[in-house]
């Protein structure tokens, strides 16, 4: 029991340290990617930190599985390197005896991964889609950015303001291009400000000119004005009209079965099953071979991790396209990985060795002394 508790304590320290490092790296990469999407107009720049938080939360099942795998590998490899495993083996215990303390340490993490994969992950993706949809439905005034040409929500207007003042309620050098009702209109003004007239909002322009051209003929009208008001659209407060597959709840996916929904369920179930298999794979591959180098087993283990998750991604696309059945994929990938890990573990536990059958050579009789 003392040996089991010491292993769990060391696993907890290694898991915590690894989790901090991996989360820091993922947060940095996610922040850069989210800033890029915000610069392309996919998100509101003010919501970058919130969207980044939801994105990192949706990646937590993979992060926790990776940290658990790294913690098991690093702790067991250190025990092999420092000859602590020799004492364990000398007491009559083998590698299989380590399954119990590893499972006792890992089961809370498995529950967290299961909850994240089936409940928190679709909720986080739904919140990200809400922010994306809300930004796409923003009104014309919210789309105006100083020094940039911005298109209206309906796509029939283009706005430009050189400089904004007074808390974005007024601006200088305003330009508006409109194409509606068979007419092309270009309006420019020295300044403009926002005013509420009744229940509508207007952009009131000062000291400018308006050029109007009909699409049916070549007639063109140019007018100069002192004050001109242009009605601008308000924010669309309607709810999101579409729901991507990854943003649907697990019960909704089960109620409406389809290839895409089974693929999403296979991905969520695979995250949990992979976390279980990584404990067995980590125990089976941990060790130090002085002849092959200290990093040989670690390199093989991490290669197995990358291949495993790539197969998860491929299986998701295969199920969505109808090439593979849901149950067959789960049994083939996760069941096959578990069986392979157990075989490697039993080979190392029982010191199994594969030998080619020796070829029996025909013995030649010894020649006697010559007479």
Establish if 360 belongs to a structural domain. Answer: no
Establish if 356 belongs to a structural domain. Answer: no
User: Could you tell me what percentage of the chain is helix, strand and coil, using 3-state DSSP and rounding each to the nearest 5?
Assistant: 55, 20, 25
**Per-residue pLDDT at 351:** 65
Q: In 3D, which of 111, 112, 102 has the Cα closest to residue 73?
A: 102
Same domain for 144 and 130 = no
Establish if 24 belongs to a structural domain. Answer: yes
On whether the pTM is more than 0.85, the answer is: no
3-state class (DSSP) for residue 226: strand
Same domain for 259 and 115 = yes
Same domain for 218 and 86 = no
Same domain for 218 and 274 = no
Establish if 362 belongs to a structural domain. Answer: no
Read out DSSP for 14-29?
A: HHHHHHHHHHHHHHHH
Picking from 210, 232, 254, the residue at the C-terminal end of a domain is: 232
**Per-residue pLDDT at 126:** 87
Domain that holds residue 226: 140-232
pLDDT tens digits, one per residue of 174-227: 878 888 777 888 888 888 777 776 666 777 888 888 888 877 777 788 888 888
Same domain for 113 and 90 = yes
* Average pLDDT over every residue of 85-105: 77
Same domain for 102 and 17 = yes
Is the pLDDT higher at 353 or at 87?
87
pLDDT tens digits, one per residue of 284-306: 887 666 555 556 666 777 788 88
Give the total number of structural domains in the chain: 2
Over 70: is that where the pLDDT of 347 sits?
yes
Picking from 232, 261, 280, the residue at the C-terminal end of a domain is: 232
DSSP 357: P
Same domain for 77 and 32 = yes
pLDDT tens digits, one per residue of 220-274: 888 888 888 776 655 555 556 667 888 888 898 888 889 999 999 999 999 999 9
Same domain for 123 and 148 = no
- The structure tokens listed for 301 are 């283990």
CA–CA dist 231, 194 (Å, integer): 10
Establish if 109 belongs to a structural domain. Answer: yes
Same domain for 264 and 116 = yes
Same domain for 173 and 132 = no
Establish if 237 belongs to a structural domain. Answer: no
Same domain for 126 and 70 = yes
**Per-residue pLDDT at 371:** 45
Same domain for 104 and 151 = no
pLDDT tens digits, one per residue of 141-185: 555 666 666 776 666 777 777 766 555 567 778 878 888 777 888
- The structure tokens listed for 154 are 């309906």
């Amino acid at each position: 029991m003392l040996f089991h508790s010491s292993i769990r304590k060391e696993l907890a320290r290694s898991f915590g340290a690894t989790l901090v490092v991996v989360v820091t790296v993922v947060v940095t990469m996610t922040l850069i990617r989210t800033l890029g999407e915000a610069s392309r107009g996919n998100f509101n720049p003010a919501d970058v930190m919130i969207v980044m938080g939801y994105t990192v939360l949706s990646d937590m099942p993979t992060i926790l599985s990776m940290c658990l795998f790294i913690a098991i590998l690093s702790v067991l490899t250190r025990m092999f390197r420092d000859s602590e495993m020799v004492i364990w083996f000398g007491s009559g215990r083998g590698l299989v005896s380590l399954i119990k303390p590893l499972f006792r340490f890992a089961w809370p993490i498995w529950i967290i991964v299961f909850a994240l994969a089936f409940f928190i992950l679709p909720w986080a993706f739904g919140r990200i889609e809400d922010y994306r949809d809300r930004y796409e439905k923003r009104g014309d005034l919210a789309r105006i950015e100083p020094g940039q040409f911005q298109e209206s929500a309906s796509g029939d207007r283009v706005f430009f303001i050189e400089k904004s003042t007074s808390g974005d309620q007024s601006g200088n050098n305003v330009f508006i291009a409109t194409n509606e009702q068979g007419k092309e209109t270009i309006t420019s003004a020295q300044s403009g400000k926002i005013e509420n007239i009744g229940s509508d909002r207007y952009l009131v322009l000062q000291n400018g000119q308006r050029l109007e051209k009909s699409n049916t003929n070549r007639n063109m009208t140019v007018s100069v004005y002192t004050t001109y008001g242009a009605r601008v659209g308000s924010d669309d407060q309607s709810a999101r009209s579409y729901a991507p597959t990854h943003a649907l709840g697990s019960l909704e996916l089960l109620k409406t079965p389809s290839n895409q929904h089974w693929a999403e369920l296979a991905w969520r179930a695979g995250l949990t099953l992979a976390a279980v298999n990584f404990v067995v794979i980590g125990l089976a591959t941990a060790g130090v071979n002085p002849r092959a180098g200290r990093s040989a087993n670690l390199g093989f283990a991490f290669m197995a991790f990358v291949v495993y998750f790539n197969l998860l991604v491929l299986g998701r696309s295969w199920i969505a396209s109808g090439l593979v059945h849901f149950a067959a994929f789960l049994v083939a990938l996760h069941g096959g990985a578990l069986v392979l890990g157990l075989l490697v573990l039993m080979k190392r536990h029982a010191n199994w060795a594969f030998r080619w059958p020796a070829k029996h050579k025909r013995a030649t009789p010894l020649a006697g002394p010559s007479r």
